[in-house]
Amino acid sequence: MAVLRLSGQAAEFVGWVVLARRLGTSAYGQLAVAFLIARYAGLVADWGASFRGARDVAADGRHGSIRQYVRKRTRTSILLALGAVAVAFAAHQPGLAPMAVVVLSLGLSRDWIAVGRERGARSGIPLAAQGALVLVGSLFAMTVPAAAIAVAVGYGAAALLSILLNPLGPESAGEDAATTHGWILAAVLANQITSSTDTVLLSLLRSTSAAGIYAAVYRLPNAWLAILALMLGSLLPMATSSHHHDPAGHLHLRRRSLRVSAVGAALILFVTPFTWFLVPVLFGPAYRPGQVPLAILMVATAVITFTAPLHPFALATGRDRAYALVLVLGASGNIGANLLIIPWLGMTGAALTTLAAQSVISIQLWRLVRRYGHGPAPDLATATPDDAAQGAPDDPDVEAE
């Protein structure tokens, strides 16, 4: 899984670098904003499966019917993809209509089923194919519509492979108890908003050129964060299983994961000075204004890396509402700060608000995991909606404290 996913992410990263150099700052900014909007819609279509799905599969029916979950995602994906096409034509940008395939891909993907069943190759093949096809397509794309088609081909092929590799099997439990509440969806959207809305706001409050520069340099930390998210997906089923069946092993796994993530964060800080010189080499001289924002974003990436394991361990507790509220409040604060700071400091201000928001979110996640990460999670297939979302504390001593 690691080899396949890393190769896919590396290939897609190179493809986006090629597009940034070929299209120029303004055209690339237009493409990047369209892609981000498609990703937002795709995350709604995904309905939290990228976070919750692997946990639900690993929980073996405790969270409801996987089959009903897939059906809901499919219906939502089709509706949102049609809406994306309509928006592209209404905005007089028909060349961006292929981005609707990104919506379908995120909503129809079943990689999370393979992750939950701990089948690494099945979860990695679609992403490897996606990256390779985006890279190949970028070599032939000279215009924004051609670039949109290149991205669509890669994402569409990945979705098709994911469906073929992960057929739905019989369910032993949860067939009549599909808990498709939206807390994890809200968490996923909030996480995406915190990490990328600043690009959209830069295009609105500054210029598409500023958005293009910011989106291009953001590709460097985003490449690492994408790899990190994919690796954390494999940690989630282990965190879920140990939380239910081996509390002592669960705590040991959490401590070990945080030690590893601390090493990763130190590595990010070490390479940060070198990224200053990498910007004009990778993207060209026109992207030099992104050097300072990138340095700040790399520090934010180190913060995210250090506390990244807290996400799967927070999800493993089953306290979906508490987890979602942490991310939603962080995203709300980030948007408000961006609206105030971007007109004043531009790209640098956007990067500073990202650093501040990620720091606050990390502190709140640690408090959540420390409070609830000591015992079995509630059975979401039988608990009341409020209990399933929040639950009672696992450890009386922790609650008393």
Q: Which tens digit of pLDDT belongs to each residue from 335-375?
A: 999 999 999 999 999 999 999 999 999 999 998 888 875 55
* CA 125-127-130 angle, 5° bins: 110
pLDDT for the residue numbered 171 = 55
Give the relative orientation of helices 183-205 and 2-46 as an angle to the nearest 10 degrees: 90
**Euclidean distance between CA atoms 272 and 299, whole angstroms:** 8
What's the predicted TM-score (pTM) here?
0.66
Do 114 and 54 form a contact (C-beta atoms < 8 A)? Answer: no
Tell me what pLDDT residue 181 has. 61
- Name which of 90, 157, 101 is nearest 130 in CA terms: 157
Q: CA-CA-CA-CA torsion for 155, 158, 159, 164, nearest 10 degrees?
A: 160
Q: pLDDT 10s digit of each residue in the chain, 401 long?
A: 778 888 888 899 899 989 988 888 888 888 888 898 898 888 888 877 776 776 777 666 555 567 777 888 888 899 999 999 999 898 888 999 999 999 999 888 888 787 777 777 888 899 899 999 999 999 999 999 999 999 999 999 999 999 998 887 665 444 444 455 677 778 877 887 787 788 888 988 888 888 888 988 988 888 888 778 767 766 777 777 777 677 788 788 888 888 999 999 999 999 999 999 999 988 888 889 999 999 999 999 999 999 988 888 888 777 888 888 999 999 899 999 999 999 999 999 999 999 999 999 999 999 888 887 555 444 444 343 434 434 444 443 333 33
Q: Tell me, what's the pLDDT at 170? A: 64
Which amino acid, 373? G
